[in-house]
Structure 1
Amino acid sequence: MSAWVLLRGLTREARHWAELPAQLHASGIEEEIVFADLPGCGEHFRVKTPASVNAMAEFVRADLLSRGYTPPFRIIGLSLGAMVAVAWAQSRPDELARLVLINTSMRPFSVMLRRMRPGAWPALLRAALYWRGRRAAEAAIHDLTCRRNEKRDTDLAIWIAIYRSAPVNRANALRQLLAAARFKAGAAAPRCPVLVVASREDRLVHPACSRTLARAWGATYCEHAWAGHDLPHDDPLWLAETIVKWAVGATALIDDVGDGSGA
C-alpha cells in the first residue's frame, strides 16, 4: 500500500500537524503516515530553501526515497505544501496516487489579492518584524491562521518550543513566501484523484481560490464552515473524517459545504 505523506505550509513542519495523524488513523487510515518537511523547516531547518516550488518538490521526493519509501504516494498538503504536491503530481504523474489540497492557491487559477488577502498583510508583517522574539511572531501567526482560541496559550508554548528546537530563519521564510507567490501550476489536472478542501473563514487565503481550482480540475470539493487557514488545528476530526470518506470512495457522504461538526 502507498504511504500517506503529510506536507505542511509556510515555515511550518511535521509537529505542527498536531492531532491530525492520530485522527486519520482513528478514522480508518490503515496505511503508514509519513511526515516530510520542506527544505528550511523541521529536520531540514539548516537547509537553504530553494527559490522555486518545483525545486522544493524535488527535495521532498529525494528525501522520501532516501528513507526507503517508494511511490506511488498519497499526499495531504496544506497551503504551500499543497503547491509542492501539485508540482510533484504534474512533473511525475505516475508517482502520486491521491492528492488532498487544503487551503491552497496558485496561478493561473487565482489572482494575488485572493491568494494572499490584504487583511493578512499586517499580521505577516508583525511576524516578520518580531521573528526572533518568538512569542509575538507566533501570536501573529495564530491570530491570522486559527479560529479556535480556547487553547491559544498552550498552542503558543508548543509552537515556541518547536521553533527553538528547529528555528526557521527569516531568509528561508522569505524565500518560501516568494516561491509560493511565483508558483504557477499547469492548467491540466493531475492524473490522480484530487480532493480540494477549504475553510470558509480563512483569513490568509480566500476560499474562492480552492473553489476555482476544484472547478477547473473537476476535483471533489469540500468546505469547512468556520475554521481558519490552519484547518488541521481548528478541526482535525472533521478533516480526518472528510479525507477518509473521500479516500474510500464514499463521495456521497461529503457535502460541498460541511458544518464542521466532525459527525
Structure 2
Amino acid sequence: MTWVLLRGLMREQRHWGSFTSQFIQAHPHERVITLDFAGNGALYQQASATSIGAMVEQAREQMRQLQVEGNINLLAISLGAMVAVAWAERYPDELQRMILINTSLAPHNPFYQRLRPANYPAIIATMLSGSQRQREQLILRLTSHQSDTAHAERLLDDWVHYAQQYPIRRRNILRQLFAAMRYRAPAQAPQVPLLMLAGAKDALVNPQCSTTLARRWQTELRVHPDAGHDLPLDDAAWVIQQTLE
C-alpha cells in the first residue's frame, strides 16, 4: 500500500515540514510519497498545467516512474484535493481511499466561500509587488495559526529558502489559479472511500465548503475546532490520527 501526499497552490513537498516524517513513523509498513506539481518545488522550471485533469496525468506519470501502479491512498490538501477528486473520477480502480483536507469545489461551493473576499486586496498586492518574505508571511497568516508563535520566524526562514532555491514564476501561479477556477467537480461522490477533514478556523477558505460537500456527497467530515487551512501544520498529530482510524 502506498500513501501519496498532495499539496496545494504554490506549495511544494517540503512545505509538509515535519508532518512527513511523523506520518512515516505512524505508517511504518506503507510507502509514503510526496509529489510536486509542475511549476512547484523541484519542478519549478516546468510550466504549470492549466487544468486539474492535466495535473492528475502528471502525478500519475510520476507514480509510473516510481514504479507504483494502483493500491494508492491519497492525502491531499486544498488544490491537491481537487486533483485527488479528479483522479478518483478518472481512475477509481487505482485508489484505495482518499482523505481531503480543506478543499472547495465548484459548482458545489460559491466563489465567496472558496476564497474569502476579505483576503482579495492583500493577496493581489502581495503577489504582484511583494517580496518573497512578504508573500510567505501572508501565506502563513492566511493558512495557519503558527504566525503568532515562537516557531513562526524559523518556519518563514525555511519557506523563504524554498522560494529562493526553487522560485515559482508568476505565470505559473496564474496557471495554477486558472486550473483551480475552471475545474468542475462531479455531482456524485467519487467511487472511492472518502474522509473529509476541515479546520474550523480556516481564514482562507470558508469551512462551510467542506460541510456542504460532505452533506451533498453523504460522506464523513471531521472538523478540528482550532486549526486553520494548513491543518497538517497546525496539528499534525490530529491529522495522522484520522488517517490511522
TM-score range with shorter-chain normalisation? over 0.9
Amino acid at match of 1:107: A
Match of 2:142 in 1: 144
Amino acid at match of 1:188: Q
Match of 1:218 in 2: 218
Report SS of the residue matched to 2:97. strand
Match of 1:62 in 2: 61
- Work out whether 1:21 is the aligned partner of 2:20: yes
Match of 2:99 in 1: 100
CA–CA separation in structure 2 for the residues paired with 1:44 and 1:7: 14
CA–CA separation in structure 2 for the residues paired with 1:14 and 1:101: 16
Offset of residue 129 of structure 1: 2.3
CA–CA separation in structure 1 for the residues paired with 2:235 and 2:122: 22
Contact 1:127-1:141 at 8 Å conserved across structures: no
Report SS of the residue matched to 1:138. helix
Amino acid at match of 1:193: P
- Work out whether 1:8 is the aligned partner of 2:29: no
Amino acid at match of 2:40: C
Match of 1:256 in 2: none
Offset of residue 22 of structure 1: 2.2
Length-normalised TM-score, structure 1: 0.89
CA–CA separation in structure 2 for the residues paired with 1:126 and 1:222: 34
Structure 1 moving runs of 4+ over 6 Å: none
Contact 1:130-1:136 at 8 Å conserved across structures: no
Match of 2:244 in 1: 244
Amino acid at match of 1:232: P
Match of 1:205 in 2: 205
CA–CA separation in structure 1 for the residues paired with 2:186 and 2:107: 8
Let me know the Cα RMSD of the aligned residues: 1.3
Match of 1:162 in 2: 162
| 1:74-132 Cα shifts (integer Å, max 9, x gaps) | 1111000000011110011111111110000001211111011112213312331245x
Length-normalised TM-score, structure 2: 0.95
Residue identity over aligned pairs, in percent, reads 39
Match of 1:114 in 2: 113
Structure 1 gaps, min length 5: 246-263
Contact 1:126-1:140 at 8 Å conserved across structures: no
Report SS of the residue matched to 2:99. strand
CA–CA separation in structure 2 for the residues paired with 1:25 and 1:144: 27
Match of 1:87 in 2: 86
Amino acid at match of 1:178: F
Query: Bigger shift: 27-36 or 48-57?
Result: 27-36
Report SS of the residue matched to 2:86. helix
Offset of residue 28 of structure 1: 4.3
Report SS of the residue matched to 1:48. coil
CA–CA separation in structure 2 for the residues paired with 1:126 and 1:228: 22
Return closer, same or farther for 1:28/1:34 CA change in 2, 3 Å cut-off. Answer: closer
| 1:145-172 Cα shifts (integer Å, max 9, x gaps) | 1112311111110001111111111110
Query: Bigger shift: 164-173 or 5-14?
Result: 164-173
Return closer, same or farther for 1:29/1:108 CA change in 2, 3 Å cut-off. Answer: farther
- Work out whether 1:235 is the aligned partner of 2:235: yes
Contact 1:19-1:232 at 8 Å conserved across structures: no
CA–CA separation in structure 2 for the residues paired with 1:28 and 1:171: 37
